[in-house]
Structure 1
């Protein structure tokens, strides 16, 4: 569902002015609503770090000048979406710009580590949104059960499932998932 530009602009203004509430990790805009996300747990952040490290080691050879970076907003004004992937691959030079967000045309890969509290967001909503944004690759890592999926274009019609312990192809990169941990029970 896309929203009109004026509604999105209003939502973006509100999202930018929200106070930083303890325990709230990030703010997204989707489906015409502001969505406040909880701060991730340690194993979630460990997965982000380990995947980021592996990607950054390979990017110099495959995509010089690109970086696997956590902590950036992803914005598609035309779709009325503001997302904050756990990790994205994009040109490092974008971080030198003064804009508030990274734009989908610059992103090669979005990565989401599935949360305990809202897994359908990563499996349904973000699959739809990232495909609509034209992001070529979307990696879902699910520490709830030690599985994942690599989605690839066109429009994520190709899906490759894996289990923790596999070395998985994500476009031109290889991710060893053997160091990823499931959430504690």
Structure 2
């Protein structure tokens, strides 16, 4: 008899710590680290966020599992911004409602999950802001105002359009500088 998904998730995560291990709609996903282009884009985003993060005593964490509830999926965003003392589920999993911003950069195989699946898991878990950065479209999409099933607001900025991050950020991003 096969082990429950949560048990398989923990086993694979422990066996392959250098990989990003997620569960999505009953699937166990093991992803390699990003390409140099993916990592360069993450570095540019990190550089834009770091001033506000440091000023407010927050932290940026790459490769942390987001705990969305007992029977929910387990996602690992490219970047998670958390308060100085976030609520943790386990050492490797931060509570979704204890994050300030989650960021995913779309890769060739992640588009559907990033745009359609993950927002449906993050919103009910209380993740306040989820930013999808899409280098294939030179666009970003911000999901905000989490509700019991989905986000109440989706904001898209394409090309050089600025994107406003609402409270607790109260600042604008210039995604055009990232491309």
Q: Same fold (TM over 0.5)?
A: yes
Cα deviation, residue 94, structure 1 = 4.7
Residue 142 of structure 2: SS of its match in structure 1? strand
| Residue 158, structure 1, aligned to residue 153, structure 2 | yes
Distance in 2, Cα, partners of 1:96 & 1:129:
17
CA contact (8 A) 1:76 1:103 kept: yes
Residues 31/179 of structure 1: CA separation in 2 closer, same or farther (3 Å cut)? same
Q: TM-score, normalised by structure 2?
A: 0.82
Q: Paired residue for 1:118, among 95, 106, 110?
A: 110
SS of residue paired to 2:70: coil
Task: Assess if the C-alpha contact under 8 Å between 1:70 and 1:85 holds in 2.
Answer: yes
Give the aligned partner of residue 172 of structure 2.
Answer: 174
1:56-135 residue pairs with structure 2 within 5 A? 56-61=50-55, 64-94=56-86, 99-135=91-127
2: CA distance, partners of 1:180 / 1:29:
29
Q: Which runs of 5+ in 1 are unaligned?
A: 1-5
Higher RCO structure, 1 or 2 (CA under 8 Å, sep 6+): 1
Q: How many residues align?
A: 171
Q: Counterparts in 2 of 1:5-44, with a 5 A limit?
A: 7-19=4-16, 25-44=19-38
Aligned-pair distance for 1:169? 0.7
Whose helix fraction is larger, Structure 1's or Structure 2's?
Answer: 1
CA distances 1:139-174 after superposition (whole Å, capped 9, x unpaired): 111001101111111331211111132221122232
* Structure 2 residue runs without a partner (length 5+): none
Within 1, Cα distance between the matches of 2:75 and 2:89? 19
RMSD (Å) for aligned C-alpha atoms: 2.5
Query: Is the contact made by 1:8 and 1:80 (CA closer than 8 Å) also made in structure 2?
Result: no
* Alpha-carbon separation, structure 1, partners of 2:138 and 2:72: 32
